[in-house]
Amino acid sequence: MPDTSPAAPPAPAPAFRPVSAFDVPRYAGPASFMRLPLVDIDAAAAAAVEIGILGVPWDGGTTNRPGARHGPRQLRDLSCMLRPLHPATGDDPYARAAVADLGDVPVNPADLMDTLQRITGFYERVKRRGILPLSAGGDHLMSYPILKALAADGPVGLIHFDAHTDLFHDYFGGFRYTHGTPFRRAIEEGLVDPKRVVQIGIRGTMYDGSDVAWGLAQGVRIIRIEECEARGMDDVMAEARAIAGTAPTYLTFDIDCLDPAFAPGTGTPEIGGLTTREAQRMLRALAGLNLIGADLVEVSPPFDPAGGTAWVGASLMFELLCLLAVSPALRGRAG
């Protein structure tokens, strides 16, 4: 019988390989995510990029401890420690896809609403190029303008790792755009399908429970950390996969999903969170989902100047990169 399996995509050009520490010491040369080439989104070379890693150096939605605007720079610096092969699977994401650092998204630290428009506009250009974005924050409000670009054609699913639901209606007497409101806005505006949203790791003291009540009323699946522990990580992730299904899905990971023993450098830490090992296992369970993009947010270097939190964040970004490299959305682009 003839072979009907899909043809493998062509191998990425060598220009999109990370610089090897066998050739250049990790601390030398220009800083870029994973030591990848820096490519301008409007340059001719961007036409060959399949996965773009971007920084969003902005924390204008922060309501308490700031500093996440400095996250992308420290994440870039610490990502120089990463090697190409996945430790558990042996997979090489750079052999599957052409990956580049697309630099930082333009922001306006003096104007929140202007920055939201700038972020959406930049990701619209990324989408037109057919590039799957992997983004480093920045506070969690940034996911909302990213979704405005990526979900312009219709609602997507959402897998959301966090200590907090980010489903509040407003702060400070009616202000609707903070890092506690992005997914309320995304659901209200039809950017995500609430019945395909799963939130994992939720915990901590609460204001009044209105965020949880609203989310449940919309059909959001909220899995608190206690349920994760009682059921086991594999069972929880099997449910997350079922909720996402085969349709396009976005993945967002707030570093405060982790216990502050592992990631103290964040604005709103909550005790009793995931370990780094649990986070790796849970992300790896999502391989093969139809992911159209991902982000890692809320790394705040001023609260961990030694870089331990950023090292955790960069390592989890590599896990996210490996998920994007096997996403059906990427294979569809190649086809």
pLDDT tens, 177-226? 999 999 999 999 999 999 999 999 999 999 999 999 999 999 999 999 99
Position 3 in a domain: no
Which CATH number is 329's domain given?
A: 3.40.800.10
* Binding-site annotation: residue ranges: 140, 162, 164, 166, 254, 256
CB-count burial class (<10 Å; 0-12, 13-18, 19+) for 232: exposed
Position 15 in a domain: no
Backbone torsions φ then ψ of 179, nearest 5 degrees: -75, 0
Distance CA 334, CA 196 (A): 26
pLDDT of residue 8: 53
* Binding-site annotation: residue ranges for Mn(2+): 140, 162, 164, 166, 254, 256
Position 89 in a domain: yes
| Domains in the chain, number | 1
Q: Which two tokens stand for residue 297?
A: 């947010």
Position 18 in a domain: no
Query: What residues make up the domain containing 79?
Result: 23-334
pLDDT of residue 333: 58
Position 114 in a domain: yes
Distance CA 284, CA 159 (A): 13
Position 40 in a domain: yes
- For tokens 């005790």, what's the residue? 271
pLDDT of residue 15: 77
CB-count burial class (<10 Å; 0-12, 13-18, 19+) for 188: middle
> How do 156-161 and 132-137 pair as beta strands?
unpaired
Position 5 in a domain: no
Tens-digit pLDDT string for the chain (335 aa): 444 444 455 566 667 999 999 999 999 999 999 999 999 999 999 999 999 999 999 999 999 999 999 999 999 999 999 999 999 999 999 999 999 999 999 999 999 999 999 999 999 999 999 999 999 999 999 999 999 999 999 999 999 999 999 999 999 999 999 999 999 999 999 999 999 999 999 999 999 999 999 999 999 999 999 999 999 999 999 999 999 999 999 999 999 999 999 999 999 999 999 999 999 999 999 999 999 999 999 999 999 999 999 999 999 999 999 999 999 998 765 44
Sign of CA dihedral 228, 287, 280, 73: negative
Q: Which two tokens stand for residue 144?
A: 């909302």
- For tokens 């630290």, what's the residue? 109
Contacting residues for 246 by C-beta, under 8 A, at least 6 apart: 290, 328
What is the three-state SS of the chain?
Answer: CCCCCCCCCCCCCHHHCCCCCCCCCCCCCCCCHHHCCECCCCCHHHHHCCEEEEEECCCCCCCCCCCHHHHHHHHHHHHHHCCCCCCCCCCCHHHHCCEEEEEECCCCCCCHHHHHHHHHHHHHHHHHCCCEEEEEECCHHHHHHHHHHHCCCCCEEEEEECCCCCCCCCECCCECCCCCCHHHHHHHCCCEEEEEEEEEEECCCCCCCHHHHHHHHHCCEEEEHHHHHHHCHHHHHHHHHHHHCCCCEEEEEEHHHECCCCCCCCCCCCCCCECHHHHHHHHHCCCCCCEEEEEEECCCHHHCCCCHHHHHHHHHHHHHHHHHHCCHHHHHHHC
Contacting residues for 167 by C-beta, under 8 A, at least 6 apart: 181, 183, 184, 187, 211, 212, 214, 215, 220
Position 4 in a domain: no
